Amino acid sequence: MMNLNTSIGMSLIPAILLALAASSFNAAAEEPSAKSVASKKSSNVRPDDPTQNIQRRLKNLVAQGGVLDAYPIALAQAWIDFARESYFRKDRRAAAEALSEAQFVVEAIERDGDQVKVDARLIQSSTKLRDDLWRKAEGFKRDVEFRCATWQTARLEVALIAAGRADRDLGWRAARAFVRRAERFSRDAEAKLKACAEPKPIPEKEQLSVEKKSADDVAAVPPTAGKTIGPISIQSIPDRVHFRNESAELSDVSALVLEQVSYVLRANPTIVLDLRGYANDLSKLDENEQLGIARAQAVQDYLVETGVARERLMVRPGSQVSGEGKTAIERAKARRVELVPTSSESIPMEYQDKDLAIDGSSGS
């Protein structure tokens, strides 16, 4: 007969497994070796992944010009990630419900385009936890700079729903890891909104140019003259993508970022990019450089598959930096490929970290 201690120990196993799974929410498994990454393909899709079709539809939306910073796209991706994670830890009910929510959001985007109105909905197997964090999420959505924190807000909401699912199924102990993750996303959203709200200084030369142009316009245009100016679409390119520890495989979020890059490049065929691959903390410099190049090649291959000419994408190693003494976030930021325009035609570049893969290791 099983004794009391054994029984208690066995009852904790599901909670421990859920807590471990929560630590990998929004991140895929690491590669086992840095030496083998150069020969790996850029796709990391498992053949039994039930989210493949809906992920493909979301990528198509971005490839057709969908705005990556739009909240509905961020929400769809958060649901897809939760569905995938739930499926592979054998929580098939949560996987099915999350996949249904992802499909609902993607269909709404396909139907309504830029006018789509969606929100994170509580799935049937979850329960609502942490009203304070839900209120924060609603506050973020009302902020005038919300576009800067759409991904963090969507992740926050889905993490709270995951916490409610764990709490309802196994209790608070299993939910705590997801709640901590939601708290981190809340802090990240606050930091993003604050950074976007801070006024950006205008360089002195640019300021003088603006002032001179304004003065010329006033002198040249009669007071009664007027004209209608239509909406101006300013294109920009995300300036980097990030990678998991010791991996040269693109995550689904990185693929969405590159779909936006591809859309702009195909609309502007004279732009040429350097793809500079970075790594850190490998024991040998040549292995370090090999991993950086493998990451840059993965980006090049993906963009070529989307229709960008390979000769417009130059693979180069970036300078390698030690990760000793760095935080997990700093190490995650070092695992990247930077996209640097080298052609005469200029294009606005925009810093992005939506695909940042944070872990507790010090690997490359």
Sort 234 into a burial class: Cβ within 10 Å, 0-12 / 13-18 / 19+.
Answer: exposed
What's the average model confidence in pLDDT over 65-70? 90
Model pLDDT, residue 224: 32
Average pLDDT, the chain: 80
Please determine, for residue 232, whether its predicted confidence score (pLDDT) is greater than 90. no
User: In this structure, what is the dihedral angle of CA atoms 84, 85, 90, 93, given to the nearest 10 degrees?
Assistant: -70
CA distances from 141 to 72, 123, 127, 341, 353 (A): 12, 21, 22, 33, 19
Place of tokens 């421990």: 16
Q: Which pLDDT score is estimated for 42?
A: 43
Residues 6 or more apart whose CB falls under 8 angstroms from that of 252 comprise 55, 77, 80, 81
Mean pLDDT of the region 49-57? 94
Confidence bin at 47 (pLDDT 50/70/90) = confident
Signed CA dihedral, 128, 134, 138, 141: sign only: negative
Q: What mean pLDDT comes out for the span 86-100? A: 95
- For residue 130, the model assigns a pLDDT of 96
